[in-house]
Amino acid sequence: MTAILGTWRESKLLIKIGRRVAAARIDAGMTQAELADRACIHRSSVANLERGNQEVAVTRLELLAHILGLELADLVR
């Protein structure tokens, strides 16, 4: 039960982070491709992140926050 609960919590967190990344990207007037280019990742990685379907390293998340003019805490709060 604990493993399933942990997975569910992780999924909720990934979805929250993804929604915040998507909202910040749109607010910045960027496409997924533009954000991906600036972060040196594939566009599909941005799409998967925004849907909450992909885990992301903290260092990569910090880079995305910087590109979007945010602090890391803004994405994970």
**pLDDT per position as a tens digit, 40-57:** 999 999 999 999 999 999
Task: For residue 77, name the pLDDT band (cuts at 50, 70, 90).
Answer: confident
CA distance 49 to 18: 5
Look at residue 11 in the predicted model and tell me its pLDDT: 87
The 3-state secondary structure of the chain, one letter per residue: CHHHHHHHHHHHHHHHHHHHHHHHHHHCCCCHHHHHHHHCCCHHHHHHHHCCCCCCCHHHHHHHHHHCCCCHHHHHC
Burial level of 50, CB count in 10 A (0-12/13-18/19+)?
buried
- What is the average pLDDT across 9-35? 94
Q: Is the pLDDT of residue 5 over 50?
A: no
Residue-level pLDDT at 43: 97
CATH code matching the domain that covers 2-76, chosen among 2.60.40.10, 3.40.50.720, 1.10.260.40, 3.40.50.1820: 1.10.260.40
Rounded average pLDDT over 14-33: 97
